[in-house]
Structure 1
């Protein structure tokens, strides 16, 4: 599949979805964009820039990745993740909290990491690396904030730009960019963009997100000498499966493009 065909098929898929779709896809041959600067609820995609902010603080000594943190009952929240089900008295290293935040989207781990870094520091870091329309305004599972209209927001362009920074720009040291890529590569949720991808041929280092009416995924596709940075955000869904389907279809088209099918 050539790039022009890829672009045409992805834009058609985006426009046919029942929900609103934001797309930003960057390859060496060009960019595909649709609603890419429109703000969406970030859902768990916000955890990617939180990871990068944490690694940035580690570089300046403000955060110690090997420090152990107590997982008290008071900090455990529901939703995705495993820490809510673990034993009392559990301690975990900061780097392990950050890893769980990404690979199983652990909400308890995320809230602990937010406390360690500081919300204002995370927002400042995101602005410094060029994420113009991404904001952390609440913790995970804070439904009281949501009822008041307080939410975390991002755009497809910002999320792809964030991922592209792990390869193309000096947002972190080489060592920590590699660490971030390894953590994203360990993602356990591959049911959206990577749903039909042969992961032995094309790697997908990704982070998903979902809320009622919302289905997101962003990832770095690498394989066959090509790299594609992708962010697809879908909201206003009446049927969650419709969002997952469009993500799966788009991921399949990118995969076919990369293996030159």
Structure 2
């Protein structure tokens, strides 16, 4: 692990934990880092909590109005507006394509304050969603916002968010609707379109019919490549949270060093902890741990 990290031309933070054994690998896991689009995972978790509380619904209607689309990742900016979507549509696009326009629609629906309050409530002091994507801030920003951009977190804290989604650990005592909410979120994360980082060397079989054994959310900027995932390993579920920043390689090719570094770290950990590979059948709410 040290060799992989020191050979990278940039900075790396890693937090990995196997949930059934308690095995941990941690390198600079508490260092605040640029999230890029990984911060959208916190929005998904907030939406899950509000759906659970009856304050939001998967099928509620959200309208993309003319002039609201922004550039960057996603497809909504290419479609004609006005366009009616469901909240589930919006969150799905935010997760699987990291759609920036969909993310802004989610922010309009829930607000970044609700997300940040939720992160603070679960004890995550260094996770913060700052503002809309590719839009100027409409309120005063914290002094560190220019350094981090869209959001900040640590490798350990974002692993906590992903683990909560995987374990179906929503606020308060378990309720009958929890499993369905968490299954919907896991389906989104398993359908991640960008697969050049954590899944790159791990998912060697076609998962299009049975579903992926990896549920993840990526984030990329010119000098940033991140991925946070749950991997349904045969030996037990593993949460991987890997961030690279200040990368010398700023290319947007499949050979990008940051993406390759994340992929090699993920492969090294999973092969060590689960030499028999992955099992997508374990990818269900609770991860078989309840």
In the superposition, the TM-score normalised over structure 1's length comes to 0.89
Are 1:13 and 2:28 matched, yes or no? Answer: no
Which residue is equivalent to 2:258?
A: 243
Secondary structure at the counterpart of residue 215 of structure 1: strand
**Contact 2:13/2:31 (8 A) holds in 1:** yes
Q: Deviations over 1:183-206 (max 9, x none)?
A: 101111111111112354971111
**1:153 to partner: Cα distance:** 0.4
Rounded to whole Å, the distance in 1 between the matches of 2:191 and 2:124 is: 24
* Structure-2 change in CA distance of 1:180 and 1:92 (3 Å): same
**1:227 to partner: Cα distance:** 0.9
Secondary structure at the counterpart of residue 74 of structure 1: coil
Secondary structure at the counterpart of residue 73 of structure 1: coil
Q: Deviations over 1:157-206 (max 9, x none)?
A: 01111111124462252332222111101111111111112354971111
Rounded to whole Å, the distance in 2 between the matches of 1:169 and 1:106 is: 24
**Contact 1:156/1:233 (8 A) holds in 2:** yes
Secondary structure at the counterpart of residue 187 of structure 1: coil
Q: Deviations over 1:27-84 (max 9, x none)?
A: 1251100111111111000111100101111122222321111111221000000000
Which residue is equivalent to 2:155?
A: 156
Rounded to whole Å, the distance in 2 between the matches of 1:175 and 1:80 is: 28
* Unmatched segments (≥5 aa) in structure 2: 172-177, 251-255, 278-290
RMSD value, Cα: 2.2
Secondary structure at the counterpart of residue 105 of structure 1: coil
Are 1:138 and 2:140 matched, yes or no? Answer: no
**1:239 to partner: Cα distance:** 0.4
* Structure-2 change in CA distance of 1:143 and 1:250 (3 Å): farther
Rounded to whole Å, the distance in 1 between the matches of 2:146 and 2:157 is: 25
**Contact 1:138/1:150 (8 A) holds in 2:** no
Are 1:187 and 2:178 matched, yes or no? Answer: no
**1:149 to partner: Cα distance:** 4.8
Rounded to whole Å, the distance in 2 between the matches of 1:52 and 1:106 is: 17
**Contact 1:63/1:117 (8 A) holds in 2:** no
Are 1:234 and 2:230 matched, yes or no? Answer: no
Which residue is equivalent to 2:271?
A: 256
Number of aligned pairs?
252
Which residue is equivalent to 1:112?
A: 105
Secondary structure at the counterpart of residue 128 of structure 2: coil
In the superposition, the TM-score normalised over structure 2's length comes to 0.81
**Contact 1:45/1:217 (8 A) holds in 2:** yes
Which residue is equivalent to 2:91?
A: 98
**Contact 2:70/2:77 (8 A) holds in 1:** yes
Rounded to whole Å, the distance in 2 between the matches of 1:174 and 1:229 is: 19
